[in-house]
């Protein structure tokens, strides 16, 4: 799906702009903008991951680690050293990029899905570090006192202002990613996904493109982590565990990994499921997630974003 229409993006942007106003009118969904802040943060991660899975055909099971790196770098540097939050955000992204290049380069040069295993191991190691380096991270109890964000004297301290900040980032990341997909890079990525030998025969430097995409997804993950830390003012390691990485995978699979819209749809749906609709299942919600992932993998390989295509197929017959 190389062409991505501009109209849906405009409609979507408009919806995002008026959503807090709509939610404010209906008492039962008054708190939805708050959930949408988290959905937006997760969207940032899934946009990168969707590019990696759907277009580069690689799977990362350590995306929670990059999310955590961003969150902890922002948290530690602002709360303990009083550094400028925006500078810390950039530092976090730079560190995540460096780490991703370090972890990704060797495994992406190999054929196959070694990245899955390397990122899985990496993610668990980072999780253990968050737990063990108590001096820095506060250990399993987490760290609090992370300041909020402000820009030129304007404090992003209300839910609405943070909502627009986060979704502003999402929109920029989304449009940038769409442009990447529609450029020569995107064509190269599609070619890699279709057939690596064919792509490399046509002169595409397969591993270079994969590494760039992986680094890009890590940078977005780190940005999301920083935004998360400054919104909640508190972080603890359990947010960044293996299950969160799998949850991101579920978001992509549910939304549809071959379509960039899938990342948005999946992230929003799973966020609402876990913050709002699945309380009812309590501890057993993990079974629901597993069932969703299996159902989608077996029956809806293109995810929800593929449903319109299936429906169209019925009518054509």
Partner 1 sequence: MEKITLASQLLQYLITGLTVGSVYAMVAVGFNIIYNVTEIINFAQGEFVMLGGLTMVSLHVAMGLPIILAFPVTIVLVTVIGILIDRFAICPIRRPSVLTLIIATIAVSIIIKGTASFIWGKNPFDLPAFSGRNPINILGAVVQPQYFWVIGFLVITAIALSIFFDRTIIGKAMRACADNANAASLVGINVKKMILLSFALSAAIGAVAGIAITPISLMEYDRGAMLAVKGFGAVILGGLGSFPGAILGGLIIGSIESFGAGLVHSGYKDAFALIVLLVILFFKPSGLLGNIEISRIKRF
- Which one, of 218, 171, 217, lies nearest residue 48 by Cα? 217
> Within 126-155, which residues bind partner 1 (CB under 8 A)?
128-129, 131-132
Q: How far is CA 308 from CA 256, 263, 304, 314, in A?
A: 12, 16, 8, 10
Q: What string marks each residue from 218 to 247 as x (binds partner 1 by CB under 8 A) or -?
A: ------------------------xx--x-
Q: In angstroms, what is the minimal distance from the CB of 188 to partner 1?
A: 19
From 146-154, 205-213, 293-301, 307-315, span contacting partner 1 (CB under 8 A): 293-301
Q: Exposed (0-12), middle (13-18) or buried (19+): which is 34, by Cβ within 10 Å?
A: middle
- Kindly state the smallest distance separating residue 183's Cβ from partner 1, in Å: 24
Q: What are 234's strand-pairing partners?
A: 144
- Transcribe 14-36 into DSSP letters: HHHHHHHHHHHHSGGGTTHHHHH
In Å, what is the CA distance from 70 to each residue of 12, 41, 142, 223, 295?
A: 27, 12, 15, 6, 32
Q: Which is nearer to partner 1, 115 or 265 (CB)?
A: 115
Strands 143-144 and 150-151: unpaired
Per-residue binding string, partner 1, 40-79, x by CB under 8 A, is -------------x---x-x--------------------
Q: Tell me the C-alpha distance between 281 and 17, whole Å.
A: 32
Q: Which of residues 98, 291, 307, 310 is near partner 1 by CB under 8 A?
A: 291
Q: C-alpha angle 174/179/180, rounded to 5°? A: 95
Instruction: Spell out the residues 6+ positions from residue 56 whose beta carbon is closer than 8 angstroms to its own.
Output: 189, 192, 193, 209, 210, 213, 214
Q: With contact defined as beta carbons under 8 Å apart, do 280 and 99 qualify?
A: no
Q: Which SS3 state, helix, strand or coil, does residue 278 take?
A: coil
Q: How far is the CB of 185 from partner 1 (least distance, A)?
A: 21
CB of 180 to partner 1, least distance (A): 21
Minimum CB separation of residue 120 from partner 1 in Å reads 6
Q: How far is the CB of 146 from partner 1 (least distance, A)?
A: 24
Among 29, 83, 101, 121, binds partner 1 (CB under 8 A): 121
Structure tokens of 86?
């925006």
Total residues interacting with partner 1, rule: CB under 8 A: 40
DSSP code, position 233:
S
Binding mask 249-288 for partner 1 (x = CB under 8 A): x---x-----------------------------xx-xx-
One character per residue 83-112, x = contact with partner 1 (rule: CB under 8 A): --------------------x--xx--xxx
Query: Which positions lie near partner 1, rule CB under 8 A?
Result: 53, 57, 59, 103, 106-107, 110-114, 116-118, 120-122, 124-125, 128-129, 131-132, 242-243, 246, 249, 253, 283-284, 286-287, 289-291, 293-294, 297-298, 301
């Amino acid at each position: 799906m190389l062409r991505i229409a501009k109209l849906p993006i405009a409609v979507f942007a408009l919806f995002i702009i008026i959503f807090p106003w709509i939610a404010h009118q209906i008492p039962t969904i008054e708190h939805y903008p708050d959930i949408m802040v988290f959905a937006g943060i997760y969207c940032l991660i899934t946009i990168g991951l969707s590019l990696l899975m759907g277009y580069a055909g690689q799977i990362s099971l350590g995306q929670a680690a990059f999310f955590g790196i961003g969150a902890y770098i922002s948290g530690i540097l602002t709360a303990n050293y009083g550094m400028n939050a925006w500078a810390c955000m950039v530092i976090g992204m730079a560190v995540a990029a460096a780490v991703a290049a370090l972890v990704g380069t060797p495994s992406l040069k190999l054929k196959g899905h070694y990245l899955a295993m390397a990122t899985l191991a990496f993610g668990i190691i980072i999780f253990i570090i968050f737990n063990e380096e108590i001096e820095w991270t506060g250990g399993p109890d987490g760290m609090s006192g992370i300041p909020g964000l402000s820009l030129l004297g304007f404090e992003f301290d209300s839910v609405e202002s943070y909502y627009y900040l986060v979704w502003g980032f999402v929109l920029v990341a989304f449009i940038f990613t769409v442009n990447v997909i529609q450029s020569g890079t995107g064509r190269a990525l599609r070619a890699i996904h279709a057939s690596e030998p064919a792509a490399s025969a046509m002169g595409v430097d397969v591993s270079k493109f994969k590494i760039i995409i992986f680094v890009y997804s890590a940078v977005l993950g780190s940005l999301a982590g920083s935004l998360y830390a400054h919104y909640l003012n508190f972080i603890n390691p359990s947010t960044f565990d293996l299950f969160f990485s799998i949850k991101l995978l579920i978001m992509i699979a549910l939304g549809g990994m071959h379509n960039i819209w899938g990342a948005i749809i999946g992230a929003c749906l799973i966020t609402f499921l876990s913050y709002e609709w699945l309380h009812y299942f309590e501890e057993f919600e993990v079974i629901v997630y597993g069932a969703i992932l299996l159902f989608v993998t077996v029956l809806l390989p293109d995810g929800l974003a593929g449903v319109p295509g299936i429906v169209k197929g019925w009518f054509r017959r």
